[in-house]
């Protein structure tokens, strides 16, 4: 959750010229938006369709795309409540079932909001397919307003967006004037709203749920099968309660609290981040235990702080405090690293245990040598991997996030920042200021959802569904999964996954992969009180392969393909 990709856009153009190459470097510096810092795995090149010979199957014409997949579209109305509504196309991708019998489509959502289901399947559809025993057609769809499903664009073209974004950071840094920060968000919001006035009220999650049901229908299915991660759990909880008779096998993995997500945004920040600092502490203690061979920060002699028991997490915290007024240069490059860049890096690391050694390396270089190169190298690597040059920026998370929830208790900037400040003091000094900066956009997002779903969450479902909560999850705490299980009143079964990182993929276990397999492949729900222990030690052990034949690298690929929230 939360790794918002506000200014990241998806477009089709690979880097073309010297000028664009320079622009990339600038974009890296300015936005830090792509890739790691915002944790997305989006890569949306247009599906190349040489000759584009599609074949018809049921209601769909499928065309080969991205080498091994099929792509199609489904036309849906902007407004389901208006029979004369204009229409647009949802963009779809399919990875065919590999095993007989086929159980039909399994829809997936990578989180966000604003994550592209098409890129999720493109990047890791095979891992999802194997995880469910190969019996489903894995179907990714870009939610409305996102990626290739009628994307919300805020600028005329790439030039306009780059000029607008030049030298404007994403986060309010210590010492910044909040009014100057906020006015840019206000201008940006106004610009987006001006350009998309007739569509923005219709991108709320309730409409995305209606799209899923339209997909179910078009696929000729009685029931919907679904695996949603992170924000995808809010989408899933919404879907099953809006269409209770259509619920097939549904897994909500990394559950966010649906009452705060659809409520006051500052409350949602507070309920989401209750274990973020634990994640940082665990990063530190695991590093100390692993020693300097495996963790570059395991040097007690070079520590900046010691709390009587531990030194790595205290050192990172002390360093971030110092960085607030001593940002870093990047040797041999005009780039700079601000405190919030470093904070965003360690925050993002709490999402995935597989990233811990590399992040420790970057911090060691910064702390021991006062160089930002480790951050920069890392940032660029991730960026090159995941964020092709884009000509145009879109604002993918905020249009959904801001209208699903509200900020009624914090109507102006002062009051909002007070709320964020409280969450920083009481919940997470690391993450609350970062999310608080990003979501300040919502104060200026003067759009009202044409339809919101805010519960009740206990509709009687055709089939019970499965929830997964991860004990060390930094953004979707295990308590939220337990809460949703209570709210659903016997219509769901909660499985507790012991581990760190975000969703069951942040630190996978053989035990939980089996629980997921048994559910999707055999229809077996876990028993009430189901739990799986942690099976690996961060920085130290990892499996080669899981019992289902999937390698640990494959699971890392799936974790990387999820979009933060």
Ligand X SMILES: *[C@@H]1O[C@H](CO)[C@@H](O)[C@H](O)[C@H]1NC(C)=O
Strands 105-109 and 492-500: unpaired
Q: Which is nearer to ligand X, 73 or 285 (CB)?
A: 73
Among 12, 159, 180, 412, binds ligand X (CB under 6 A): 412
How many residues contact ligand X, by CB under 6 A?
16
Q: Residue 55 or residue 325: which is nearer to ligand X going by CB? A: 55
Give the gyration radius of the chain's Cα atoms: 22
Longest dimension (CA), the chain: 71
In the bound complex, what is the minimum distance in angstroms from residue 146's beta carbon to ligand X?
Answer: 16
49 in contact with ligand X (CB under 6 A): no
Considering only 212-220, 277-285, 313-321, 460-468, which stretch makes contact with ligand X by CB under 6 A?
212-220
Choices 102-110, 354-362, 411-419, 446-454 (CB under 6 A): range interacting with ligand X = 411-419
Closest CA to 250 of 209, 291, 218: 209
Residue 375 CA to its chain's centroid (Å): 21
Quick note: the x/- pattern for ligand X over 169-208, rule CB under 6 A, is ----------------------------------------
In terms of phi and psi (left: phi > 0; alpha: psi -120 to 50; beta: otherwise), the region of 282 is alpha
| One residue of 87, 446, 486, 528 binding ligand X per CB under 6 A | 87
For the bound state, the minimum distance from the C-beta of residue 58 to ligand X, rounded and expressed in Å, comes to: 3
Contact status: 415 vs ligand X (CB under 6 A): yes
Omega prior to 113 cis, within 30 of 0 = yes
- Taking CB under 6 A as the binding criterion, the range among 151-159, 214-222, 332-340, 424-432 that sits at the site for ligand X is 214-222
For 335, the token pair is 């780039």
CB nearer to ligand X: pick between 316 and 413: 413
Of positions 46, 370, 414, 545, contacts ligand X by CB under 6 A: 414
Name the residue whose CB lies closest to ligand X. Answer: 220
Footprint on residues 140-169 left by ligand X (CB under 6 A): none
Please report, in angstroms and rounded to a whole number, the separation of the first and last CA atoms in the chain.
Answer: 2
Interface residue with ligand X among 89, 191, 285, 530 (CB under 6 A) is 89
Check residue 73 for interaction with ligand X (CB under 6 A): yes
| Contact between 402 and 261 (Cβ < 8 Å) | no
**3-class secondary-structure state, position 90:** strand
Of 50, 51, 58, 175, which lies in the binding site for ligand X, with binding defined by CB under 6 A?
58
Q: Is the alpha carbon torsion for 549, 552, 557, 563 positive or negative?
A: positive
Instruction: Give the per-residue contact string, 432-471, with ligand X (x = CB under 6 A; - = no).
Output: ----------------------------------------
Q: Minimum CB separation from ligand X for residue 220, in Å? A: 3
DSSP code for 295:
-
By C-beta, is 245 or 527 nearer to ligand X? Answer: 245
Q: Which residue, 509, 560, 514, 562, is CA-closest to 536?
A: 509
Establish if 411 lies at the interface with ligand X (CB under 6 A): yes
Q: Which CA distances in Å does 329 have to 172, 346, 347, 363?
A: 19, 18, 21, 14
DSSP 432-500: HHHHHHHHGGGGG-----S--------PPPSS-EEEEEEEE-SSSBHHHHHHHHHHHTTSEEEEEEEEE
- Collapsing DSSP states into helix, strand and coil, what is residue 56? strand
Name the β-bridge partners of 94: 70, 139
Q: In whole angstroms, how close is the CB of 218 to ligand X at the nearest point?
A: 5
- Name the minimum Å distance from CB 167 to ligand X: 28
Closest distance to ligand X from the beta carbon of 49 (Å): 11
In whole angstroms, how close is the CB of 410 to ligand X at the nearest point? 5
CA distances to 201, 242, 395 from 207, in Å = 10, 10, 18
**Between residues 88 and 520, which has the closer beta carbon with respect to ligand X?**
88
**Residue 410 lies near ligand X (rule: CB under 6 A):** yes
Q: Does 12 bind ligand X (CB under 6 A)?
A: no
Among 136, 219, 351, 565, binds ligand X (CB under 6 A): 219
Residue 218 touches ligand X, criterion: CB under 6 A? yes
CA dihedral sign, ordered 206, 212, 217, 222: negative
Interaction site with ligand X (CB under 6 A): 58-59, 73, 75, 87-89, 217-220, 410-412, 414-415
């Amino acid at each position: 959750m939360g790794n918002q990709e506000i200014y990241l856009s998806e477009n089709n153009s690979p880097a073309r010229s010297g000028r664009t190459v320079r622009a990339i470097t600038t974009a890296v510096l300015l936005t830090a938006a792509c890739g790691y810092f915002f944790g997305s795995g989006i890569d949306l090149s247009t599906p190349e369709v040489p000759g584009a010979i599609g074949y018809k199957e049921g209601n769909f014409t499928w065309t080969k795309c991205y080498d091994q997949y099929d792509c199609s579209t489904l036309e849906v109305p902007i407004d389901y409540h208006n029979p004369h509504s204009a229409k647009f196309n949802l963009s779809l991708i399919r990875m065919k079932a590999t095993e007989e019998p086929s159980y039909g489509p399994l829809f997936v959502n990578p989180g966000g909001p604003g994550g592209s289901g098409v890129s999720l399947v493109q990047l890791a559809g095979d891992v999802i397919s194997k995880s469910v025993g190969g019996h489903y057609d894995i179907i990714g769809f870009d939610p409305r307003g996102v990626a290739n499903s009628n994307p919300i664009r805020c600028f005329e073209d790439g030039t306009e967006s780059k000029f607008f974004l030049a030298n404007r950071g994403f986060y309010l840094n210590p010492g910044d004037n909040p009014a100057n920060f906020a006015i840019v968000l206000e201008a940006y919001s106004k610009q987006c709203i001006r350009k998309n006035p007739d569509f923005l009220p219709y991108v709320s999650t309730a409409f995305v749920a209606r799209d899923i049901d339209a997909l179910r229908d078009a696929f000729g299915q009685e029931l919907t099968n679904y695996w949603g991660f992170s924000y995808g759990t809010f989408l899933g909880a919404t879907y099953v309660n809006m269409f209770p008779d259509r619920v097939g096998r549904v897994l909500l993995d990394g559950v966010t609290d649906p009452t705060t997500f659809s409520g006051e945004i500052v409350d949602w920040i507070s309920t989401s981040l209750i274990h973020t600092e634990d994640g940082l502490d665990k990063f530190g203690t695991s590093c100390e235990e692993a020693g300097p061979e495996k963790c570059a920060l395991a040097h007690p002699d070079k520590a900046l702080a010691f709390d009587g028991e531990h030194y790595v997490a205290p050192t990172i915290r002390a360093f971030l405090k110092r960085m607030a007024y001593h940002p870093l240069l990047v040797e041999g490059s005009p780039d700079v690293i601000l405190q919030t860049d470093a904070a965003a890096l360690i925050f993002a690391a709490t999402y995935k245990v597989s990233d811990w050694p590399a992040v420790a390396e970057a911090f060691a270089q910064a702390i021991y040598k006062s160089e930002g190169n480790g951050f920069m190298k890392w940032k660029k690597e991730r960026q090159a991997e995941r964020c092709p040059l884009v000509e145009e920026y879109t604002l993918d998370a905020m249009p959904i996030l801001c209208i699903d929830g509200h900020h009624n208790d914090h109507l102006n900037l002062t009051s909002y920042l007070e709320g964020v400040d409280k969450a920083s003091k009481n919940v997470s000094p690391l993450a609350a200021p970062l999310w608080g900066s990003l979501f300040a956009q919502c104060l200026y997002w003067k759009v009202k959802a044409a339809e919101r779903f805010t519960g009740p969450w206990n509709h009687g479902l055709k089939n019970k569904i499965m929830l997964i909560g991860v004990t060390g999850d930094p953004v979707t705490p295990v308590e939220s999964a337990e809460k949703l299980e209570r709210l659903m009143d016997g219509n769901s079964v909660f499985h507790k996954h012991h581990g760190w990182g975000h969703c069951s993929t942040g630190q996978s276990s053989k035990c939980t992969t089996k629980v997921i397999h048994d559910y999707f492949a055999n229809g077996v729900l876990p028993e009430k009180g189901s739990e799986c222990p942690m099976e690996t030690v961060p920085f130290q052990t990892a499996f080669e392969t899981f019992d289902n034949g999937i390698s640990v690298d494959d699971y890392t690929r799936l974790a990387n393909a999820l979009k933060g929230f």
